[in-house]
Amino acid sequence: MKFKGIIPALVTPFNEDYSVNYDSLKVLTNRLIDKGVDGFYVCGSTGESFLLEKEERKKILESVVEETAGRVPVIAHVGDIWADRAAELATHAAKVGADAVSAVPPFYFKFTFDEIAEYYKIIQNAAGLPLIIYNIPVLSGVSVTSDNLGQIIAACDVEGIKFTSNDMFELSKIRAAYPDLCLLNGFDEIFINALPVGIQGAIGSTYNIMPEKFSKILKAFKAGDLESAAQTQKQANEIIDILIKTDVKSGIKYILTKAGIPCGSCRRPFAPLNKEKTDLLDKVLELL
Ligand code: MN9
């Protein structure tokens, strides 16, 4: 399988005026490749997709594809509430050389699953690339399950699913029902719990700052050294626990900025970090 291992959901670095900082994006891309990541997920939740202009989403993708230069696969998140905008982004992703497209289900209007299946078909037809469904019920309000996934699979060719949910029972049901599907875990804090279910890898935000910890967990798990895998996950989770208290994306941007890659703040209405939160994050800097 082409999509496997540790795949950072890239943050979108901003300048002080909230414009996209492409210089930082390039430095981050290279730094993560040097750290051994297995791919990139661009303009997802962590990348603040829905706080970006369509043209910015295109340019960010182009920048990552160009800088990556084929060293690892690039997955473009093209999801949108409007199928035609998602299709435009999907066509663009294929044109500029992304390796796959991914999309959250259309949200807000409580679309039927027939409509959701049609949406994925539209995206796939527009891209002609492998399609990875992005299941993140906590944010999208839509749950892709082993039951309704069949409807999407009947409508189009699904390569995989990014499964961002703590429901490991559901994940195992999807694994059992679709043995050939590429399963990518979404919540970094339960990476170790998803491994025995049979995932191929994981897409997550904290791999922007500590991908090596997760590569280590994966390696230890494959070698049968569960104790070491659990130990490393525990260390990572101490950090994630703090990040969740500060808003994960904002916290990661602060840490990257401290590490010499200016990332700015998340776009409004996300609030800039206050002193209480930066104090907490300074602790993370010591733990990393
Ligand atoms: O892409 C990320 N989920 C969200 C997946 O951004 C909502 C995760 O990496 C989480 O940020 C992380 C912390 O809960 O696991």
Q: What is the pLDDT along the chain (288 residues), one digit of tens a residue?
A: 689 999 999 999 999 999 999 999 999 999 999 999 999 999 999 999 999 999 999 999 999 999 999 999 999 999 999 999 999 999 999 999 999 999 999 999 999 999 999 999 999 999 999 999 999 999 999 999 999 999 999 999 999 999 999 999 999 999 999 999 999 999 999 999 999 999 999 999 999 999 999 999 999 999 999 999 999 999 999 999 999 999 999 999 999 999 999 999 999 999 999 999 999 999 999 999
Q: Let me know the angle formed at the C-alpha of 101 by 84 and 248, rounded to the nearest 5 degrees.
A: 100
- Give the nearest ligand 1 atom to 9 CA: 1
Q: 137 C-alpha vs ligand 1 centroid, how far in Å?
A: 12
d(CA 67, CA 167): 36
Q: Which of 11, 40, 185, 188 to mutate to test the pocket of ligand 1 (most atoms within 8 A of CB)?
A: 188
d(CA 155, CA 115): 11
- Give the nearest ligand 1 atom to 248 CA: 11
pLDDT of residue 2: 87
Q: What are phi and psi of 210, to 5 degrees?
A: -145, 50
pLDDT of residue 245: 96
Q: Which of 46, 51, 243, 270 to mutate to test the pocket of ligand 1 (most atoms within 8 A of CB)?
A: 46
Q: 134 C-alpha vs ligand 1 centroid, how far in Å?
A: 12
DSSP 159-226: -EEEE-SS-HHHHHHHHHH-TTSEEEE--GGGHHHHGGGT--EEEESGGGT-HHHHHHHHHHHHTT-H
- pTM for the whole thing? 0.98
pLDDT of residue 158: 98
Which residue bears the tokens 């679709």?
A: 178
The CATH class that applies to domain 5-221 reads alpha beta
- Give the nearest ligand 1 atom to 204 CA: 9
pLDDT of residue 1: 63
| CA proximity to 54, closest of 13, 91, 8, 107 | 91
Q: Hey, which residues are catalytic here?
A: 134, 162
Q: 240 C-alpha vs ligand 1 centroid, how far in Å?
A: 9
Partners of 203 in the β-ladder? 7
